[in-house]
Amino acid sequence: MKKLRIACFFGGCSPEYEVSLMSATAILKNLNQEKYEILMVGITREGDFYLYNGDIDKIENDTWFNLKNCKKVTISTNRSNHGLIVFEDKLKIIPIDLAFPILHGKNGEDGTIQGLLELAKIPYVGCDLSSSLLCMDKYLAHLIVSSKGILTPITYLFSKTTPYENILQTIKDLNYPLFVKPLKAGSSFGITKVKKEEDLKRAIAEAFFYDDKIVIEENIVGFEVGCAIFGNEDLTIGEVDEIYIETDLFDYLEKYNLKTSKIILPARISEEERERIKQEALKIYKILGCKNLARVDMFYTPNKEIIFNEVNTMPGFTAHSRYPNMLKEVGYDFSTILDKLIALGLDS
């Protein structure tokens, strides 16, 4: 049987470049090479695309880019090509069956590469352009989900041109601590838990470093829980996990080093409450138009309220990441998850 040719994209012009390298390494090592012919397409921090022919291990430690093992490529927007253009002495077209954009955050998880692949009519793994955009936009995601009766934090949106005095006036109903976040950023980049007003200006400046719009949210008392979901019509949901943190924020370093925090699986609540969380996650997945996969994150309060936080449309995919581990709890090993995601991408 002919192998499917899968183009796996990694890296990217994003603050989450390193996260992508870790996820891509794990995925590439777990793809069944008897089923798939794998093309590795690295994207530099500057946004240049290269077909990479070196060792997978060099991706994770970010030594993959060199002229010996890399050829400059781009996605052909001619639908008849259905693949990559390789820039050699002569332009060469490599047709592909499916793209797997293992990209996190800006320029990868926000609808940009999804739009390019849709323009080229290349099937891909992950949520489509509109869903990726909505899920990345913290304000719009909250607005849409809350309109369907699901609880969300009180959230205010601001641009760089908003005077500081106007920000203070708008958020006067919020108590400290509160959270300041870039509108579109992942892995907790640019997020600050602000405990007093004197620290607010600094937190706003930090968030604006990552985006030209920010949100300020109320603090939710409770702990974060997550649900891994995959599917289009027939949906599968993993076991609910819980994040235990000793610090103020589950930030980038904690997410990928777990120095003082823990991922507890399953979450330390009753089976009935975990089922409630799963059902809310499924509703959110459908409301935001997710396809193929997503991780839905929520807060669980002492009053047993379930409050929506955010959706990751391309969650972390290392062997220690939450998404594959939640699905492992319900019987799916890493390679099986990848096989199913590829099938879902081809079916979208």
Structure confidence by residue, pLDDT tens digits, 1-37: 789 999 999 999 998 999 999 999 999 999 999 999 9
Q: Report the pLDDT value the prediction gives residue 117, as an integer from 0 to 100.
A: 97
Backbone angles phi, psi at 310, to 5 degrees: -160, 170
Instruction: Please give the sequence-ordered ranges of beta strands (E in DSSP) within 150-261, or none if there are none.
Output: 155-159, 178-182, 192-194, 213-218, 223-231, 236-237, 241-244
Band the pLDDT of 187: cuts 50, 70, 90: low
Task: State both tokens at 210.
Answer: 């990552």
* Cβ atoms within 10 Å of 91's Cβ, excluding its own: 9
* Cβ atoms within 10 Å of 270's Cβ, excluding its own: 10
Percentage above 90 pLDDT, the chain: 87
- φ/ψ bin of 156: left (φ > 0), alpha (ψ from -120 to 50), beta (otherwise): beta
Q: Report the pLDDT value the prediction gives residue 261, as an integer from 0 to 100.
A: 72
- φ/ψ bin of 153: left (φ > 0), alpha (ψ from -120 to 50), beta (otherwise): beta
Residue 2: Cβ-neighbour burial (10 angstroms; 0-12, 13-18, 19+)? exposed
SS3 content of the chain, % helix, strand, coil (to 5): 30, 25, 40
Domain architecture of the chain: domains with CATH: 4-124 (3.40.50.20), 133-151+221-347 (3.30.470.20), 155-218 (3.30.1490.20)
Summary mean pLDDT of the chain: 93
155: β partners: 217
Band the pLDDT of 257: cuts 50, 70, 90: low
Q: Report the pLDDT value the prediction gives residue 258, as an integer from 0 to 100.
A: 56
Please name the residues in contact with 19: beta carbons below 8 A apart, sequence gap of 6 or more: 104, 105, 186, 187, 256, 316
Q: Looking at the predicted structure, is the pLDDT value of residue 189 above 90?
A: no
Q: What is the DSSP letter of 141?
A: H
Cα-Cα-Cα-Cα torsion 317, 320, 323, 324, nearest 10 degrees, comes to 80
Distance CA 249, CA 138 (A): 17
90 versus 286: the higher-pLDDT residue is: 286
Instruction: Please give the sequence-ordered ranges of beta strands (E in DSSP) within 201-268, or none if there are none.
Output: 213-218, 223-231, 236-237, 241-244, 262-264
Q: Report the pLDDT value the prediction gives residue 249, as an integer from 0 to 100.
A: 55
Band the pLDDT of 247: cuts 50, 70, 90: low
Q: Report the pLDDT value the prediction gives residue 254, as an integer from 0 to 100.
A: 47
- Please state whether the peptide bond connecting residue 315 to the residue before it is cis, i.e. omega within 30 degrees of 0: no
Distance of CA 40 to the CA centre of its chain: 20
Residues 104, 126 contacting (CB under 8 angstroms): no
Q: Looking at the predicted structure, is the pLDDT value of residue 185 above 80?
A: no
Q: Report the pLDDT value the prediction gives residue 186, as an integer from 0 to 100.
A: 64
